[in-house]
């Protein structure tokens, strides 16, 4: 069981990425954001952050990390990109 989110939230949304879809649907559904906003997202940063979160979850699942594996991966990747 993941310690990051409360059980009642996890029961309805599943894991981390599903919860992030709710604001996207709301913002684009009510025309707060439009297609141009979607196309101007920095998708490389989004993918980098999600990769770091995935590494952190993997490390937490194996018991080999204390949640800092994702932060280390993001820091290492961003230093290469700069």
The tens-digit pLDDT sequence of the chain (82 residues) is: 445 556 776 677 666 667 777 888 899 999 999 999 989 989 888 888 888 878 877 777 666 545 455 566 556 665 555 5
Give this prediction's pTM. 0.46
Same domain, 48 and 29: no
Domain around 27: 1-33
Same domain, 51 and 70: yes
What pLDDT score does 29 carry?
A: 92
Question: Which residue's entry shows tokens 């599943």?
Answer: 14
Q: Report how many domains make up the chain.
A: 2
What pLDDT score does 9 carry?
A: 67
Same domain, 56 and 28: no
- Helix (H), strand (E) at residue 19: helix 16-29
């Amino acid at each position: 069981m993941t310690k990051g989110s409360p059980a009642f939230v996890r029961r309805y949304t599943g894991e981390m990425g599903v919860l992030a879809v709710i604001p996207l649907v709301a913002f684009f559904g009510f025309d707060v954001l439009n297609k141009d906003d979607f196309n101007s997202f920095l998708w490389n940063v989004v993918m980098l952050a999600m990769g770091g979160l995935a590494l952190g979850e993997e490390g937490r699942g194996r018991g080999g990390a204390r949640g800092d594996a994702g932060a280390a991966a993001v820091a290492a990747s961003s230093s290469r990109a700069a």
